[in-house]
Homo-oligomer: A and B are copies of this chain.
């Protein structure tokens, strides 16, 4: 029987050691990890080949097999990602604020590591390295539980990371891989209260919902995005067409892609034919309400279910509304709280949309595809939170930290 408790215990024991690591020590270790990854590409590609052969034997789709595949170039890309994390400012130790109370106590709020972070993810081996780099830079120990499809690649990658850490005299327990991908160990990880300070699921809707419903440790829900673009009556229609094309088509399988359109009735006759023919020219299927079907025969009837669907494919829903209030109500009803955008030239509409849409990222006149830690300037991203607790929207290094109060006294007692 596989012993997850040992991993949990070791990760917990590593916490104080990792919290004390200086910025230079962390950055030097990350740079060595990057070098070692590059140097070890033969070893990594060999392990990856086993995963690829298994995937083919299991009938995995070519698109998924491609996501799984590691090449020398891709490994160099992963290593470069680690170098970029090394170059980011260290979030740990920052004192966010400090104040003095009338009784003389001086209270400071200091940024500290979260502790032990567990990541449950699917079949992309780059997530393994990426998750280690970010959690390590923020002073945490990480426990990785990737999918069974890339287990051999993951074992090779984590062994390279451990080797580099060890060479720098840093505890190898900074990173652990759950090598037995039996579901029961993932579930044990979800319930490891007292050991896991934060659990982040990275993957599809099924994985995320299973983690949210089963975990008893603190979780950040990431990901699913039924993102809307609302074309207001004062919209620049050409801008709307351009932004919708970008948000739907620039990359299909991502959580910040646009899945749903909402169009003001006063502009629908002009806007829908242009938007529809532009999207149709790239084989996007448009499923709309009665009004939009009447305006354009490219549009096919939508079901109620369509409005709530994250397609991640060349399909988009469309709905015509009488005013911005109906648009906002529709969006707040069907969205997953990820990213929504209004195309408008009306000041009041823009402000109202920003105020009243209840999503992590709310845009005026821009593509929803910008919801991303790199695009936001965070220099990194561990995921996009769609919950309101702790972090909302793209999560960079700071989302992987906590704070503590440090209080300087000189004998104060409470009356």
Contacts and interface: CB of A to CB of B under 8 A. Distances in A.
Interface of A: 15-16, 19-20, 99, 101, 105, 107, 112, 114-115, 193, 197-198, 212-216, 218-221, 236, 239, 242-243, 245-247, 250, 332, 350, 354-356, 358-367, 369-371, 375-377, 387-390, 392-394, 402-414
Given A101-B377, A365-B408, A367-B412, 19 more contacts: A20-B355, A101-B375, A114-B389, A193-B213, A197-B389, A214-B216, A218-B388, A246-B414, A247-B413, A354-B406, A361-B404, A362-B404, A362-B406, A364-B407, A365-B412, A366-B413, A367-B413, A369-B413, A389-B402
B198 A389 contact: yes
A384 B216 CA distance: 19
Which of A16, A366, A402 has most chain B Cβ within 10 Å? A366
A390 B390 contact: yes
A213 B216 CA distance: 5
Contacts of A216: 212-215
B362 A407 contact: yes
Contact of A407 (B115, B239, B370): B370
Interface centre among A105, A115, A214 (most CB of B within 10 A): A105
A367 to B, nearest CB: 5
Residue of A101, A364, A412 with most chain B CB atoms under a 10 A cut-off? A412
A407 B366 contact: yes
Contact of A358 (B105, B115, B367, B387): B115
A27 to B, nearest CB: 20
A329 to B, nearest CB: 8
Given A370-B414, A388-B197, A364 B213 contact: no
Contacts of A221: 218
A390 B410 CA distance: 30
Q: Which of A236, A388, A402 has the most CB of B within 10 A?
A: A388
Contacts of A20: 355-356
A158 to B, nearest CB: 24
Nearest to A355: B20
A138 to B, nearest CB: 12
A361 B16 CA distance: 16
Oligomer copy total: 2
Closest 8 CB pairs of A and B: A366-B409, A388-B402, A246-B413, A390-B390, A369-B414, A218-B389, A366-B412, A365-B409
A15 B358 contact: yes
24 contacts: A101-B377, A198-B389, A212-B216, A214-B216, A220-B389, A245-B413, A359-B404, A360-B404, A361-B405, A361-B407, A364-B407, A364-B408, A365-B408, A365-B409, A366-B407, A366-B409, A366-B411, A369-B413, A369-B414, A370-B412, A376-B405, A390-B390, A392-B404, A392-B405
Contacts of A358: 15-16, 19, 112, 115, 404
A214 B216 CA distance: 7
Nearest to A219: B218
Contact of A387 (B215, B218, B245, B364): B218
A154 B15 CA distance: 44
Contact of A212 (B193, B377, B394): B193
A16 B234 CA distance: 24
Nearest to A110: B354
> Which of A363, A377, A414 has the most chain B CB atoms closer than 10 A to its own CB?
A414
Contacts of A387: 197, 218
Contacts of A376: 101, 107, 405
A389 B389 contact: yes
B364 A411 contact: no
Contacts of A219: 218
A99, A115, A392, A411 pick with most chain B CB within 10 angstroms: A411
A414 B363 contact: no
A387 B410 CA distance: 28
